[in-house]
Amino acid sequence: MNDYYVYVYIDPRNFEDFYYGKGKGSRKSAHLSDDSDSEKSRRIVQIRKAGLEPIIRVIARNLTEHDALLVEKTLLWKLGRTLTNVSSGHYADRFRPHNTLHQELIGFDYRCGIYYYNVGEKGGHRNWDDYVEFGFISGGQGHRWRDAMLGFNEGDIVVAYLARHGFVGIGQILARARPVREVVIAGKPLLSSGIRSNGMNDNVESDADCEYVATVDWLKTVDRKNAKWKPRSGLYTSQLVRASLNGQPETMKFLEQTFGIGLHNLVV
C-alpha cells in the first residue's frame, strides 16, 4: 500500500537537516518523546533548551515501503556525514561509499564488478569440479543464498574461493542466475548432465528454495590441491556467497599475481 512517507528533522537554529526517516501514520513525531542518549535525542534536547522545537517536514508521500526505504537511503547517502542517523539505512550496498568520488570504483564507474564467490561444497549441493566441467556457479536452498546469486550480473568477474583450500578460479558471468530446473548447458538440462552434486535437485520446484545457477566462462581454474593461498597474509575471505572485492587491494594484487590475470582489464 502507498501509505508510507519520508520525513526530515530540521534544526530551527541554523536550518540544518539532522535526521531523515521513513514511516506512516504518526511515526514522524515519535522521536520527540525519545529519551535515549542518541545524538539525535541530544540535539532535540539542545533545541528545546533554546526555547524552540525541531521543524518536522514530510519530503515525499504516498509511497510503498520499498520506495520509502530507497528515498530515505538516497537522502542519507547525500548528507550521511552530517546527520544524526545511527544506521546507514537499507540498500547501503547499492550506494557508493562516502569519500570515494576521487576514485573509479568497480560496479559504480564500471558497468561490471569483481566479486568474491564462496563455492561452499557442504551439503552436497555444490561441487567445484562440476563448476569447472560444465561452466557455472550456484547457490540457493534459501532466500538469502538465492538473493546473493541474483546479485550477479552478466559480465561480472567472479573469483571462486574454496574453504580450507584457497582461491581456485576466475571467470566471467555469461548469464544471470535462474532456477536450476531451467538451466540448459551444451543443449542438455544441467540436472541430467551427470553432475556430481547430488543435492542440486533439492527443492527443485520452489523458486524460493531451489538452487540458482549462473553460467560462467572460466578464464583460469586450478584444482583443489593447487589452490592459491598464503597463510596469515590477511587475504579476504567471507562466509557470504557473494561479496565485492572493492576495498581489497591486497587480495586483488595477490589474485592478479598468482593467476596471471589483470582483473581491472576485464571490466568495462
Highest mean pLDDT among 27-41, 42-56, 79-93: 42-56
The whole-angstrom separation of Cα 244 and Cα 114 is: 6
Q: What mean pLDDT value characterizes the chain?
A: 90
The answer on pLDDT for 85 being more than 70 is no
The whole-number average pLDDT for the span 23-42 is 91
pLDDT in the model for residue 83: 65
Q: How far is CA 137 from the centre of its chain?
A: 17
The answer on pLDDT for 89 being more than 60 is no
The whole-number average pLDDT for the span 158-167 is 97
Label residue 110 by pLDDT band (50, 70, 90).
low
Tell me if residue 147 falls in helix, strand or coil. Answer: helix
Give the pairing type, strands 16-23 and 4-11.
antiparallel
pLDDT in the model for residue 198: 87
Q: What is the DSSP letter of 141?
A: S
List Cα–Cα distances, 195 to 61, 95, 128, in angstroms: 51, 38, 11
Label residue 75 by pLDDT band (50, 70, 90).
confident
The whole-number average pLDDT for the span 36-63 is 93
The whole-number average pLDDT for the span 117-143 is 94
Alpha helices in 97-180 (DSSP H): 128-134, 143-150
Contacts of 28 (CB under 8 A, 6+ apart): 5, 7, 21, 56, 58
Q: In residues, how long is the chain?
A: 268
The partner residues of 212 in beta bridges, in order of sequence, read 139, 179
The answer on pLDDT for 100 being more than 80 is no
List Cα–Cα distances, 208 to 85, 95, 147, in angstroms: 33, 26, 9
Tell me which of 90 and 128 has the higher pLDDT: 128
The whole-angstrom separation of Cα 152 and Cα 4 is: 30
Label residue 136 by pLDDT band (50, 70, 90).
very high
Contacts of 79 (CB under 8 A, 6+ apart): 17, 20
Query: Could you tell me the domains of the chain?
Result: 4-94 (3.40.1440), 114-266 (3.10.590)
The whole-angstrom separation of Cα 148 and Cα 187 is: 27
CA angle 152, 154, 156 (to 5 degrees): 60
Neighbours of 239 (CB within 10 A): 8
Label residue 37 by pLDDT band (50, 70, 90).
confident
pLDDT in the model for residue 261: 94
Query: Taken in order 245, 183, 175, 74, is the CA torsion positive or negative?
Result: negative
**pTM of the predicted model as reported, rounded to 2 decimal places:** 0.63
Least confident of 91-95, 131-135, 215-219: 91-95
Label residue 268 by pLDDT band (50, 70, 90).
low
pLDDT in the model for residue 84: 64
The partner residues of 17 in beta bridges, in order of sequence, read 10
The whole-number average pLDDT for the span 166-190 is 96
The answer on pLDDT for 122 being more than 80 is no
